[in-house]
Amino acid sequence: MRRIRKRKQSERKVMLFRIAIILGFIILITAAITTVSRLTIRKSDEVLSEKVVSLTASLNVQMELNLNSYLSRMETIATLAFAEEDAYKYDATNPSNDEYESINREKKITEKLNSLCIMENFVDYGIVYRNNRTVGKVSNATASTFGDRIFRELSTIVTRQRTNDGWAAGFEGDFKRIYYVKKVHENALLFISFYVSELDNVFDNPENMDAMEIRLVNKDYDIIFSKDSEEIGQKLPEPIAERVKDKISSSALDDEYLVSVNQCNDWLVVCSIPTRLILVEKNDLTTYFYLITGVAAVLAAVVGFILTLWLTRPIKKIVVDLADEATTDKLTGVLNKRSFEEAAKQKLASEADEHRAMLLLDLDNFKGVNDTLGHAMGDKVLEDTGAILMKSFSSENDLLGRVGGDEFCVLLSSTDKTEEQFMTYLEYKCSEICSAYRDNYVGKDGSYKISASIGAAVFPKDGSTYSELFSACDAALYHSKNRGRDNYSLYEPSMAESEAKKQ
């Protein structure tokens, strides 16, 4: 049984070796794939980031161009008013004007402006004079917003000195309308206005950028236009504002946002989108790569397992054979002397709750077998002895060993018997071994009788260490020999004294 345990230990070592190879193979393959995947993902991140930033910048430029085109069209429609000569020559503040003539001229200007007003969804399309007199279409909202300050307030919108015009939104906190004002002469301003909702078609997101937020803001970062009407008039969200502050043309991508900004007139077109939304494809790609890594690790485990089985099969046989050779007596199949002594010492030193006894067996007349019948027959007797002992002592708790040329030792253990039952069991086993040899004759004619003499000692009564217990067994064996052989003896202290006197 000890041999079986040793074999199992050797096989366990080979299995651990296999597992180590498999784990190493998995780690190596996984590390290689992970490294390649991370490098690929990193490169794809860089390429994707560059493309997204470039795409967003292009989108922002397109939005700027759309807005410029729209505003230019509004400016063109506004200046069509000057096709009517009175529109840019008439001055309502001139005290020398004839009242009747002024009425007719203002009526003519109004008709011209009204005809132009219907070309677009204008809220206002008129001319205001320094004395706050107006002609054309002036909405009630504009009139109530500015009151008698209309000329002065609209004059502040004229910020472009070269063209004497300008754009503005958010007067008195009202961001519903956008105004365009152009200076006609020192005492007259042409102005138009339209609702900010007219910019919906200007800032139309491409299909592949639906999540992009496009906003038009003034220099104070107040939102003039947004697809989300609730935002109009509010401040640009702080995370976006801090990324575009003091910038008039830039695009940047970080862990939270992709933001692009371009200036249009005195306004800023700001495009922004959370990074997590634009990198969804990248995240899917990352998941795909890691999935591949996981699958590769599993495949590596399978391949590694197959390879280790193939590679370690001969190693396993060598290790098991070496283990057997190192611990087992090749002829008899039981433990050799050194292995038996080590195992017995370890077992006797343990604190297991079990009864233990040692048996020392010596073959009677074995020298005569070798001298008379030859060593081949002697080896056959030893081989049979090993088989008899392994059959009789089949418990995993028992240790069997060959400790001399024809001497065998057994360390008997039991956990399920009382002390009295164990002593009975010990004597039964000694008698069983003697009986197995009692009718054992060898030789061609069966004329040579082989028997066994046994000495037994109980642990720890007869010896508390391996050496003490073995000495006690040896004394009991000597006593059996003196009694005529072919019997067994249980150790008594007097046996040791008798042996000492003879020596």
Predicted structure pTM score = 0.53
- What's the pLDDT at 281? 59
Q: 84-198 adopts what CATH topology? A: Beta-Lactamase (3.30.450)
The answer to whether 470 and 408 are in contact (CB under 8 A) is no
For residue 26, how far is the Cα from the chain centroid?
15
Q: pLDDT: is 54 or 414 the higher one?
A: 414
- Which residue's structure tokens are 């003879």? 502
- What's the pLDDT at 119? 78
- What's the pLDDT at 298? 72
In percent, how much of the chain has pLDDT > 90? Answer: 37
pLDDT at 319 over 50: no
- pLDDT category of residue 60 using cuts at 50, 70 and 90: confident
Q: What is d(CA 283, CA 203) in angstroms, rounded to the nearest whole number?
A: 28
pLDDT in tens, 360-376: 999 988 888 888 888 88
- What's the pLDDT at 4? 52
Domain boundaries defined on the chain: 84-198, 337-502
Q: pLDDT: is 423 or 394 the higher one?
A: 423
Q: pLDDT: is 228 or 208 the higher one?
A: 228
CATH 3.30.70.270 fits 337-502, yes or no: yes
Q: 364 Cβ partners below 8 Å, 6+ apart?
A: 450, 451, 452, 453, 481, 485, 486
What mean pLDDT, rounded, does the chain reach?
83
DSSP string, 341-405: HHHHHHHHHS--S-EEEEEEEEEETHHHIIIII-HHHHHHHHHHHHHHHHHH--STT-EEEE-SS
The answer to whether 90 and 110 are in contact (CB under 8 A) is no
Closest by CA to 205, choosing from 72, 63, 51, 69, is 63
Rg (CA), the chain: 55
Catalogue the long-range contacts made by 432-441 (C-beta closer than 8 Å, 24 or more residues apart).
432/392, 433/359, 433/361, 433/388, 433/389, 433/392, 433/488, 434/486, 434/487, 434/488, 436/388, 436/392, 437/363, 437/388, 437/486, 438/486, 440/384
- pLDDT category of residue 1 using cuts at 50, 70 and 90: very low
pLDDT at 468 over 60: yes
Handedness of CA 337, 343, 348, 349 (dihedral sign): positive
pLDDT at 167 over 90: yes
Angle, helices 2-79 vs 337-349, to 10°: value is 70
Q: What average pLDDT does range 392-416 have in this prediction?
A: 89
pLDDT in tens, 272-301: 988 887 766 566 666 766 677 677 667 766
Q: What is d(CA 209, CA 189) in angstroms, rounded to the nearest whole number?
A: 41
Q: What average pLDDT does range 302-314 have in this prediction?
A: 65
Do domains 84-198 and 337-502 share one topology? The answer is: no
Closest by CA to 440, choosing from 388, 379, 373, 374, is 388
pLDDT in tens, 128-157: 999 999 999 999 999 988 999 999 999 999
**Buried b or exposed e, range 39-78, using 16+ CB within 10 angstroms:** eebeeeeeebbeebbebbbebbbbbbebbeebbeebbebb
Which class for 317: exposed (0-12), middle (13-18), buried (19 or more C-beta within 10 A)?
A: exposed
- pLDDT category of residue 210 using cuts at 50, 70 and 90: confident
